[in-house]
A and B are shown apart, each in its own frame.
Chain A
Amino acid sequence: MVKQLMITGFGGQGVVLAGRIVGQAAAIGDALESTFVQSYGPESRGGACSAQVTIADGPIYFPYIKHPDILVCMSQSGYDKYRALLKPDGTLILEQDLVKPVGGQDHFAIPCTRFAEELGNKMMANIIMIGFLAAITEAVSLDAVRATVLSSVPKGTEEKNLKAFERGWDYALATLKGRRNKAAGRIGVVA
């Protein structure tokens, strides 16, 4: 099993931290192998930046990702730049309010920045996204990623971040449930 995950967004959205948490959760929590490559520099002052995480159950020989299995886009520029690289059967996850997808491509979306603002701090958008992508892709286990979130965020903000994480996780479960029910023809309550 090899899963290649790419997270893109603006510098400052917490893209790099999100990548590190997912990779660390896989390596320490789930006892898998993982590598983590971050591109920063001018990007961290704003502009498209990315984090590349590879998760595997055996040794990883090359950490750079050309064609990801999972692409997470938290900004329009990140989406524009990387969307062509996604594998044909890969999973595309978007920040619903910040990315306008080109029609036709199947994807999952979550308004994580709006949710973070509702929870009191838009810096937590990345934690919400981690919850969402973990539940959608099942790349890492719930316990592992939750424990890693708790150990990675600044002291004193654990409770808030846990709430943010669960917001994303619940939203993902609701999304999956909605897709399941829709596929079974149960679109509304009366229909």
Chain B
Amino acid sequence: MPEPLKIVLFLCNWGPHAAYQALQDRSADIPSEIKMIRIPCSGRISKALLFKPFEMGADGVLLLGCRSGTCRYGTGTSAAEENTADTRRIMALIGLGGERLELATFLPDEPEALLTFLQSFADRIRQMGQSPITRRTRPIAEDTAAGDLPTTPEAIVAAHDVFACQDCGKCTSACSLALAGKSYSPRFMAAEIIAGRADAAAVRNAVNSCLTCGICYERCPSAVNFPEFIKSMRIYYHDREVAAAPAHGGFFQSMMRAMTSPTLAPQRWRQLPDTIRTRSRGPVLFFGGCAPYFDIFFNKFLGVRTHHILEDSLRLLNFFDVEPALLENERCCGHDLLWSGDRDNFLRLARLNAEAIAASGAEELITACPECCHTLEVEYARHGVTLPLKITHMHAFLEREIDKGAVAFKPLEGCATFQDACRQSRFSGQAALPRKLLAPLYGNTPGGLVDAEAPSICCGNSAWIGCDADSKAMQVQRLEKARRSGSTTMITACPKCQIHLRCAMEDVVRAKQLKMELVDLTSLIAKTIHWE
């Protein structure tokens, strides 16, 4: 027998609740699938909260608020409208169907209209049937051979040889967070965990706040791999269910966990422009990444267009006569889940991806995202998931093709600086690669590229966790530094750097001093390259 359908109803305390109560008072025929949750205001139900029920196995979600203009708090209804619209678009893209989520507004004296609405929504969900997201509670550890990973703080400390720490403090003096003014010390954290205080709230918060940018590892004379240590500690906290709440209400983690469902068919390539040539099978596979989801989520504030990076990458591949194949139901690579400690779901994603990639029959996978590239190339293998092809970053592909010659670049005006992607420059040791690509773009104008010799500091966040006032301070510092150097453009290499730095530019007080053009390196090359 199929499981009964579940519809979660978020019901605003004010207008619609009165109508709902009237229905309850007269035992009206409210569909039995509907589980009601009373909330103070529909505007407070964020995108993360709207999506969370689906991750947990709901088949439909309703958000009922007050009729526009009657909101007790003024802006609740409009906030709910925006949140619902964005979440529906993401749900459509992820293959869940936007129709499973609905926002409606009612006045207290409209119980009849409310009842009709509830019944018609329940009918719609019955027609659509069970949600393709299946909730699994069984931990993956039971069916995996990777049980030899350290699970206690002592074992984690030993595995990463944190004992080698000499307490010299070079990590703290280089730490992006400490430099931004946060009272933060990697070596102190290491000492506390060694001393057996891993479960103290302060230590847990510190592990959560780490940006995992890798600068401390670069500086450490004992080569303690601090980011890897943090990653293991986060897995430890996550397994004990004491991990800190992620940023953005955990929306992205929720979404990525939802993607571990094999029956879900994400459709992120749906809106590709016609001018881009792709094929269903071929030796080259392009792996996009999560940019299309980010763009919808952040469109209200930041106006980010990170999916243009993917389109420009595809156009560049076309430019060099490569027609890449795409994974029809491409899923997230799992980077953010792994780095927020959810190793089980990372592994589920990794296995689904590995299966799809192997079935594609491609020989080379190209991706423009440094996180996808590092995760597919290094982390998958580390966690026992092997991919049968070569992983190439878009920059490496471009270097290879540009090196062959016969191309030139339109000269660029103004002066620019470069923001390194931590997963590319430090984790994969490829800091020279983007700089090599940048050289011909700005090489002929003296002073075209400034303050870009050494890898820059972190963009302020990683894996959608631990965003706070200090990471914002850091982003502000980064942009101020760029402005002081006279740059009008900042060139980035990761969609997340774009999002985080754009967010800092939204600062209401400092906006004028921070605004500068942000452009991705791949897009910049796409804009200027031409055949000689």
**Of B59-67, B120-128, B312-320, which stretch is located at the interface?**
B312-320
Task: Provide the main secondary structure of the chain A interface.
Answer: helix
Q: Are the CB atoms of B405 and A191 closer together than 8 Å?
A: no
Name the B residues within 8 Å of A189 (CB-CB).
Answer: 312, 315-316, 318-319, 525-527, 529-530
Check if A45 is an interface residue, CB within 8 A of chain B: no
Contact: B405 with A110, CB < 8 Å? yes
| Interface 1/0 per residue, A165-177 and B, CB below 8 Å | 0000011011101
Interface residue tally on B, bucketed by range: 20 to 34
A181 vs B322: C-alpha distance in the bound complex, in angstroms? Answer: 12
B406 close to A (CB within 8 Å): yes
Partner of A170, one of B312, B315, B404, B528: B404
Q: Is the CB of B406 within 8 A of A181?
A: no
Select A179's contact among B403, B407, B531, beta carbons within 8 Å.
B531
Evaluate whether A177 and B526 lie within 8 angstroms (CB atoms) in the complex, with A182-B531, A187-B531, A190-B315 already known. no
Residue of B nearest to A166 (CB): B404
Residue in A110, A170, A181, A190 whose CB lies within 8 Å of B531: A181
State the CA gap A190–B403 with chains docked (Å).
Answer: 21
Nearest Cβ on chain B to A161's Cβ, whole angstroms? 18
The answer to whether B529 and A174 touch across the interface, beta carbons within 8 angstroms, is no
Contact of A188 among B321, B404, B529 (CB under 8 A): B529
What residues of A have a CB within 8 angstroms of the CB of B526 in the complex?
Answer: 189-190
Contact A174 B319 (CB under 8 A): no
A178 touches B (CB below 8 Å) = yes
Q: Which residues of A contact B406 (CB under 8 A)?
A: 171, 174-175, 177-178
Using Cβ atoms and an 8 Å threshold, which residues of chain A touch B401? 174
- Please tell me if B532 contacts chain A, counting CB pairs below 8 Å: yes
Contacts of A175 in B (CB 8 A): 405-406, 532
Bound-complex Cα distance A180 to B247 (A): 49
Chain A residues with Cβ below 8 Å from B318 are 189
> Per-residue 0/1 for B406-441: is the Cβ within 8 Å of any A Cβ (1 yes, 0 no)?
110010000000000000000000000000000000
Residue interface bits B494-532, CB-to-A below 8 A is 1, else 0 = 000000000000000000000000000000011111111
The listed residue with most A CB atoms (<10 A of its CB), out of B316, B321, B529, is B321
Query: Roughly how many angstroms separate A110 CA and B406 CA in the complex, as a whole number?
Result: 9
Q: How far, in angstroms, from A191 to B527 measured CA to CA in the complex?
A: 9
Please, which residues of chain A bring their CB within 8 A of the CB of B529? Answer: 188-189
Q: A181-B319, A189-B312 are in contact. Are A173 and B404 (CB under 8 A)?
A: yes
Report the minimal beta-carbon distance from A177 to chain B, rounded to whole angstroms: 6
Identify the B interface with A (CB < 8 A): 312, 315-316, 318-321, 401, 403-407, 410, 525-532
- Give A contacts to B, CB under 8 Å: 110, 170-171, 173-175, 177-179, 181-182, 186-191
Q: Name 12 extra pairs, CB < 8 A, besides A171-B404, A175-B406, A189-B527.
A: A175-B532, A178-B407, A181-B319, A181-B531, A187-B530, A188-B319, A188-B531, A189-B312, A189-B315, A189-B316, A189-B319, A190-B526
A-B contact pairs, 5 of them (CB 8 A): A171-B406, A188-B319, A188-B528, A188-B530, A191-B530
